[in-house]
Structures are given as C-alpha cells and as structure tokens.
Amino acid sequence: MNPRLPSEQNPGRMAPLARLPVFLALEGKRAVVAGGNAASAWKAELLSAAGAQVDVYADEISDELRALLVEPPRDGIVLHARVWTETDLSGAGIAIGAFEREEDAARFVSAARRAGVPVNVIDKPAFCDFNFGAIVNRSPLVVGISTDGAAPVFAQAIRAKIEAMLPKGFAAWAEAAQRWRVAVKSLPAAARRKFWERFADHAVTHASVAPKKSDFDWLLRGTNGATGSVTLVGAGPGDPELLTLAAVRALQTADVILFDDLVSADVLDFARREARKLLVGKTGFEPSCTQDDINALMVGLAKQGKRVVRLKGGDPLIFGRAAEELEACGAAGIQANIVPGITAAQGAAAALNVPLTGRGHVRRLQYVTGHARDGRLPDDLDWKSLADPACTTAVYMPTRTLAALAERALAAGLDASMPAIAVARATRHDQRILRATVGSIAQELTRMQLPSPVLVMIGNVLVDQSQQAEAAPRAAI
C-alpha cells in the first residue's frame, strides 16, 4: 500500500456576516446627536466616553440628558437648544438621531448621507448605516456584541456572561500592552509572537495584580531562543463542544496543526485562522502517512520555532501512538506537552446516556484495541478478562477483527447474550448506533456498514439499551 503524504488544508471562506464589526476612532472628532430624550442621552454618553466632541441639538431635553451635561464622561458635550439643521452635519464624523416620526428620521438620514456622515436612528433599523451593540468595557480592551437588532435581550445576556469572564483588572493589562508594544515591535517576528502569547497567558492568571516592569522583563526573557514546541491535543470524539478549554487555547495559539482524518471539521473551526493545517491522515487499512514521516514533520516544524499542535481524535494517550511522538520530540530536544481529550468510549456512553461502570455488579472498565500493527487481531489480549461479566469492555478500531474477537471471547466463557453496542462517529450529528449481543454484533455490523470511526462496547451496563431499536441517529447529549 502506498504511503500517504501530508497535505495542507486551506481554511474555508468566512461565513456570511449580518453586520461587519468595526471599532471607530472618535477621539477629537465631531459627533452630532439630534434629539434630547433618554435614549439620545445614552448615545451622547457613549460618544463622549469614546473621546468625541458631541454637539446635541434639541429644543427639549430629558432629565437624563440634563444630568449628563452636568457630569459627562469626558469634556466636550455641548447642548444647542434648537432643532438641528443640515449645515450642523458638515464635518461630523458620526450622526445619531432620535425621532418618533419616520418622516423626520428619513429627512435626518438623507441630510447625513449627503454630508457623507455615517448615521444611526435610534430604534429604527431601516434608517441605520450601523448599529450599536452591547458593550463590555475593559478599555482599551472593548468587546462589542450584536444580534443585528433581532434579540437585544439575548445580546445583554451574552454580555453578562462575558463580563463575568473578564476581570476588571484586564483593563490595566490592556493598557500595559499599549505601553509595551513599541519595545516589542523591534523583536523578530517569532519572538514577538512568543511574547504576546506569554503575555496573554500571564494576564489571564494575574488579572487582579497590576502589571509591573518586572512582568515585562520576565516576558521578554521568555522570547529567547528559536526552538518551538509540540503539544499533543485530544480533539475528543467529534462534538466540538466536548473540547477542553486547554485544547481550545492550544488551537488558538498554534502556528501549525497536524491533524488526523478522524478529527471533525467542526473542531478545526476553533483553530487560529492563520495557522497552517496539515492533514497527516492515519486511517486503518487505507493509505496513511507513515508515523516516521509525521514525527519528522512535527520535529522539523518545531525546530523552525513553530508552535505545533498534533491534533488527534479522542484522547492522544489512548491508542493514539503518543509514546512514539513523545519519544521523537525528546530525542530532538523539543519541549512536548499533552492536552488530554474525551476518549470515544466516554463520548459514546454519554450519547447513550449509560454509565460505563455499575456499583455492585460492574467493577471494571477496560479499553482494548481491535487490531495489532499487522491489522490482525492482537495475540496478547487477556481473554479471561474479556469474558468477565463484571467488566465493561470498549473495543477500539474493531471493524475488521470483531468476528474473531467475539469468537475468542465466547470460547473463553463470555455469554453470547451479553449486550453489545456499536457506535459510529460518536457524539457527531451523524452518529449511528447498532444494538445487538456479543453473539450477533459482528454479523450485524457487517450488514449495517456503519461509517468509521466505530467503537464497540460490551457489558451488562448496556442491558437496557439492548432492548431498543437497532439503529438510530444521535440523541442530544
């Protein structure tokens, strides 16, 4: 069989956007606000906070606007106690209107567009060149959230969650980033990237402590040397929501991602868009990249100073050939880390809503591989253990050897009526489930032709599942 060569996978095009998120620089620019109600007062406050010189045109003003004029976020809000005119829009950088009647809104929008000024009419989306989103303010770190006007309450709920995730101290670290940027700019590109990656990790873990010169010095020392790193990352069984936070963080800081065929496209969506993505497919009984080629590629990229993620389906430590890749990194003097993932047996059990052990009657859980290096059933399986009714067995990569495995297990004393379930593409939207017994599972699996990857689970914990229909799409988990 001819070996398979690594192939680079280009990221897909950006999905359609309802709105383009843009952050306007308004420092020192004129902003026109037409109207004096409470809503226009809030918009005037936002514009002032962003550094704009705000001219408010209104012959009547609300209590909220009156209070804002007394205590604005920054100097520069001026009230003109009259209705706006078209000449007031000349030279403005942005225009906001608050109108009850649509004909008044239309006149204001037409005048603004003639003057070349982007315009927003409060609560009238049809008259808006742009929308205001919900804001999380850790300035200079600012997060904007938009639902394109469809669900403002939903946007506020998301804002509340992000507020909880971002400590107030992030503002000080964002300010430090601005101060340090000039000094870091002189570093080589690889060192700059390493500095900012270390900065992000350090800021997250020290958000409650103000950044100091000693922090900068420590971060700078960490950029010395061009050697990169390798991280073995478990992608889980397929559902991207089962990724760990550490896995997401590794994907979003990687320079290069080496991934297998079993990694779902949805998982790759979490990767940094600029990262190179190389398919180093290893598929049973199909053309595959050799392990030596993968090791050489992984080590070579790390020696170039790249941060390499070796992305594997499930958990890299369970039938993932992690030992060989760790050994290759060690021999080359490359730092290697491991981010564990949810293995297929756990994902399948969760999808089936069954435990893998049972107090008092199922005391052990074992994972076994269905084939050896030559593709045949391994000779050294513990058949007595496989026949133990007090054990749940998960068989990985079983498709070609399941009939032989079942025959040997039955000969060792396993009951032919023991429940067995095959789960294809566990946790994914196209998951398929085949329920049978040890005596019939191999024949049924051949008949059903389930797509790979397939996992077979055997044990008394599945007894209730064996009464259900033989094949079903994935249930929500």
Does residue 432 fall inside a structural domain? yes
Does residue 10 fall inside a structural domain? no
* Domain closes at, from 342, 358, 390: 342
pLDDT (tens digit per residue) in 101-130:
999 999 999 999 999 999 999 999 899 999
User: In this model, does residue 307 exceed pLDDT 80?
Assistant: yes
Same domain, 44 and 81: yes
Instruction: Tell me the residue range of the domain where 205 lies.
Output: 170-220
- CA atoms within 13 A of residue 192's CA, in its CB half-sphere: 11
User: In this model, does residue 477 exceed pLDDT 80?
Assistant: no
Does residue 23 fall inside a structural domain? no
Which residue intervals of 222-356 are DSSP H helices? 245-253, 265-268, 291-303, 322-332, 344-352
Same domain, 356 and 466: yes
Does residue 162 fall inside a structural domain? no
* Domain closes at, from 304, 323, 342: 342
* Domain closes at, from 220, 241, 257: 220
Average pLDDT, the chain: 88
Does residue 3 fall inside a structural domain? no
Same domain, 372 and 443: yes
Same domain, 330 and 282: yes
Does residue 124 carry a catalytic annotation? no
19, 148 contact by CB (below 8 A): yes
Which distant-in-sequence residues (6+ apart) come within 8 Å of 197 by Cβ?
A: 253, 307
Does residue 161 fall inside a structural domain? no
DSSP state of 461: G
Distance separating alpha carbons of residues 45 and 71, to the nearest angstrom: 10
Q: Which of 255, 229, 23 is nearest to 135 (CA)?
A: 23
Would you give the distance in Å from CA 44 to the centre of its chain?
36
Looking at residue 43, which CATH number applies to its domain?
3.40.50.720
Distance separating alpha carbons of residues 179 and 177, to the nearest angstrom: 5
Same domain, 314 and 401: no
| Given the residues 43, 194, 277, 282, the one annotated as active site | 282
Distance separating alpha carbons of residues 436 and 254, to the nearest angstrom: 43
pLDDT (tens digit per residue) in 382-433:
999 999 999 999 999 998 999 999 999 999 999 999 999 999 999 998 999 9
Same domain, 352 and 460: yes
Number of domains in the chain: 4
DSSP state of 117: -
DSSP state of 290: -
Same domain, 338 and 349: no
Same domain, 402 and 433: yes
Distance separating alpha carbons of residues 270 and 207, to the nearest angstrom: 24
The β-bridge partners of 56 are 33, 79
Same domain, 239 and 201: no
Would you give the distance in Å from CA 166 to the centre of its chain?
17
Q: Terminus-to-terminus CA distance in the chain, angstroms?
A: 39
User: In this model, does residue 285 exceed pLDDT 60?
Assistant: no
Looking at residue 452, which CATH number applies to its domain?
3.30.950.10
Does residue 25 fall inside a structural domain? no
User: In this model, does residue 184 exceed pLDDT 50?
Assistant: yes
pLDDT (tens digit per residue) in 335-356:
888 999 999 999 999 989 999 9
Distance separating alpha carbons of residues 262 and 32, to the nearest angstrom: 56
Same domain, 203 and 274: no
Same domain, 45 and 82: yes
Distance separating alpha carbons of residues 289 and 332, to the nearest angstrom: 21
Q: Which of 55, 103, 41, 112 is nearest to 83 (CA)?
A: 55
Looking at residue 300, which CATH number applies to its domain?
3.40.1010.10
Written as six digits, the tokens of 41 are 């007062």
Question: How far lies 287's CA from each of 2, 139, 284, 316, in Å?
Answer: 6, 52, 8, 21
Highest mean pLDDT among 146-160, 361-375, 417-431: 417-431
| Given the residues 55, 255, 260, 315, the one annotated as active site | 260
Asked if omega into 453 is within 30° of 0 (cis), the reply is: yes
Radius of gyration of the chain (CA): 30
Does residue 282 carry a catalytic annotation? yes
pLDDT (tens digit per residue) in 199-255:
887 887 788 889 999 999 888 887 776 567 899 999 999 999 999 988 988 898 888
Distance separating alpha carbons of residues 418 and 431, to the nearest angstrom: 23
Same domain, 463 and 361: yes
Q: In what order do the strands lie in the sheet with 419-424?
A: 364-369, 391-396, 454-458, 419-424, 432-437, 471-473
User: In this model, does residue 468 exceed pLDDT 60?
Assistant: no
Does residue 291 fall inside a structural domain? yes
User: In this model, does residue 11 exceed pLDDT 70?
Assistant: no
